[in-house]
Amino acid sequence: MKLIFTLLLLISISYASVVDEYLVTLGAQAKVENPNFKGFDAKRGEIIFTSKHIGKKGKEVSCVSCHGDDLSKASKNFFTAKEIEPLSPKANPNRFSEVKTIEKWIRRNFNDVYNREGTTLEKGDVVTYIINK
């Protein structure tokens, strides 16, 4: 039994996507920061993604302002009108395919919307929400 479990675990690890691995790393970090950490939550992530805040430009915005309500569709940058490709990895396989790019956009966009960087818990929650939406 133990052997089967180990094999299954190994298989699942080897097939894990970039974003799954990223979430595992973030989860380990979250556990260090808070021993009571029980896992990331898409519901909390949804609130992070959809709630409005006074952002870096002094305007009230949310992630939705640029990425739109439907993450499977292209949207437009709220400030520049430049088209933004769908954020959902289900609709756009390029999304969440590289840790460097994930971290860059999370850093930038938390600053843009929240005027500060996201916490480990917030980052994990919002990524969990986006990839499952």
Partner 1 sequence: MKSLILITALTCAVFAGSFNKAGVAPVTNELYKKECGSCHFAYQPGLLPSKSWDKMMLNLSDHFGSDASLEKEDYDSILGYLRKNSAEKFMNYKRSARIVNSLRAAETPESISKTPYIIKKHKKIRADLITQQEVKGIFNCTACHTTAQKGIYSERDILIPNFGKWED
Give the type of residue at 7: L
108 binds partner 1 (CB under 8 A): yes
Q: How far apart are CA 92 and CA 107, in angstroms?
A: 21
Q: Quote the least distance from Cβ 3 to partner 1, whole Å.
A: 42
Task: Report if residue 100 touches partner 1, rule: CB under 8 A.
Answer: yes
Between residues 32 and 52, which has the closer beta carbon with respect to partner 1? 52
* Burial class of residue 29 (count of CB atoms within 10 Å of its CB; 0-12, 13-18, 19+): middle
Q: Which is nearer to partner 1, 112 or 125 (CB)?
A: 112
Interaction between residue 116 and partner 1 (CB under 8 A)? no
81 binds partner 1 (CB under 8 A): yes
